[in-house]
Structures are given as structure tokens and as C-alpha cells.
Structure 1
Amino acid sequence: MTDAVRNVGGWMFDRVMAGWDVTVLISGAEDVRPLQILGANVLELERSLGSQGHGPMPHAIAVSGDLFEADARVRRGVLDALEHGTAEVLVWGDNCPVELDARIGSVQHRLSVAARAFKAQALTAAAISAPALGGTEVFRGGVPLTQLASVRDLVPIG
């Protein structure tokens, strides 16, 4: 949860404000208030991945590179979304998983003024001491060609 708030909290908030339904899957009994401040719905990872029922398919998936490498179910879901072009994929963290490196490039999201304010509140609620908030969040991302025209909040870097 803290990793998501720190790395993609502003992006999540801006997506919520743009009318997206944002759901974050967390592991364990974490305090969900920081994610609620950002406007995200919260579900438990194990129960969601283990359920037989399928809800709506996501149009975007944001995942920690560490979680991608550690959980085969998450890895399969992300790779499936990339292979079939069904969802925009964002990966944050210090290292991009080798399986994704050639398939996604560096992108940034410019945070709205409101996103910076709400992310600052979410970081405080999560007791995360962070340096001053910048105006952008940077991660690795890939967008299916069918969605390219509709995704305008991510800008390629370099």
C-alpha cells in the first residue's frame, strides 16, 4: 500500500478525478485510509486473485516490479494484458523486470495541483516521510495501440 501511494498516488488520484474506477489490491490487513484519500477502492489481493468470478476487465494495470517478479499470478495477468493489448500497463520500482524491459518504455505523468495535495495527505496518513513532492511521477509503461488516442496523461520520456 505504501509503495503504491509513494509511486503512483498522484496518477491514481488524477485517474479518479477523470472518472476512472480505481481499485488497488493489497496484501494483508493494511490501513487503507491513504488509498481512500486518493479515491481508490481497495480489495484484498489473495481473495481477488483466488476468486472464480470475474469482474470488469481493467483498462489499466499498475504494478510494482517487485510484485510482478514475486507472484506468478500477477506476472501472468500483466503479460496476458500486454500480449492481447487489453490494458495499459505501468510498472514502478527501481528495476524493470527483464520480461517487460523491451516491451515498455519510460513514461511520466504530470500531477495536477489537486493530485499533489491529496498525495501529500495520503503520504502523511501512511506515515511516509518523503522528500518534497515533485510535479511528475515516473515509471515504465506500455499502452495498447487501440487505447493510444485515449491515454493522454502519460508522456514518453526521452
Structure 2
Amino acid sequence: MRYRLDVVAPCVVDAVTFAGGWLVDRVMAGWDVTVLIGADEDVRPLEILGVETMDLESVLESWDDRPHPHTVAVAAELFNTDDRVRQGVLNALEQGRTEVTLWGEGCPEELSISPVRHELSAAARAFKAQALTAVDACDAVVGATETFRCGVMAIRSVPADLIAVG
């Protein structure tokens, strides 16, 4: 069985900018990574990262029927504005069987999540730079790390590639 990561992003640019390197590293580690975004987006930058894509609306409509991922990563913007996304994150945190990772401005402080970072491999930095170029963000700097806020699982069932920020 392969590990699964579902990424809930408001747009391609957001997913590439905030989590692109981490997604590449997870794909290279053998994970099945799927980015859930709007259906009318150009997904070429995500293809550069090696991830699959699905329409966010259709997945949200059938969320209960979809196999639960080992990790779900969510843009804080969507957590704060979409009740379905918010409820899915809260349920995952409550059950404690899915690692929950948020990125971006406005990460809710009331959640039981802690700051973490991922150190990008050289390959992840290279692929992220190419994906950023594909979304016309070629002036963006690709750093050595990406930062998130992560909910702790009751029983850790996924490899630890996110390091606590202390």
C-alpha cells in the first residue's frame, strides 16, 4: 500500500508556491499525491511537480466516499472560507488518523496544530523553480525550506519529513 497525500488548494499558483517542493519530495518518496483545485486551471505546473490533479468541487461532493488519505494539506484560505473544507479538516484532526497540514496566512490559532518545516531536496528546489516559471512566477525565490502548521496524529503512521519549528 502506498501512502496518499491529498492537497486542497484554491489555485495552482498557491499549491506550487507554498508546497511545491514538499510535493515533489513526497512523490519521489513513492507517495500518491493529488492536488484538488478548480476544474478550469492550467495544471501543467503541477504536472512538472509530478502530482495528479482532480476537480475540487467534485471531490468535495463525494468526500465521504473517497478513501481517506494518510495526509491532507490545506490552504488556510480555504479552511477559513469553505465550510466543507473546514469540517473535513476538523473531522480529520478529531479522529487523529490523518496528518493535517495547513499553509498560508491566517492559519487558525485555535486548532491543535504546530509550526513545522520541510527541508527541500535539490531536486525539489529544481522542479519547484520550473513549476514557478510555468505559472509566470519566475522571480519567486525557491528557498531551502517550506513552512506549514501540522496537526499531530494519535498514532503516527506516516514517515516524518516535517520537522518541528522550535
Partner of 2:48: 37
Give 1:3 shift: 0.5
Identify the match of residue 31 of structure 2 among 11, 20, 34.
20
Give 1:151 shift: 2.7
Q: What are the superposed Cα offsets for residues 42-86 of structure 1, whole Å, 9 maximum, x if unpaired?
A: 000111111377232111111111100111110111111100012
Partner of 1:96: 107
Give the whole-Å Cα distance in 2 for the aligned partners of 1:53 and 1:97.
24
Give 1:130 shift: 4.1
Partner of 1:49: 60
Higher helix share: 1
Partner of 1:2: 13
TM-score by length of 2: 0.88
Give the whole-Å Cα distance in 2 for the aligned partners of 1:52 and 1:26.
14
Partner of 1:157: 165
Q: Which amino acid aligns with 1:145?
A: A
TM-score by length of 1: 0.92
Establish whether residue 124 from structure 1 lines up as the match of residue 137 from structure 2. Answer: no
Residue aligned with 1:139, SS = strand
Q: Which amino acid aligns with 2:53?
A: V
Residue aligned with 1:134, SS = coil
Give the whole-Å Cα distance in 2 for the aligned partners of 1:53 and 1:92.
23
Partner of 1:84: 95
Calculate percent identity across the aligned residue pairs: 55
- Give the RMSD, CA atoms, in angstroms: 1.5
What stretches of structure 2 of length at least 5 have no aligned partner?
1-11
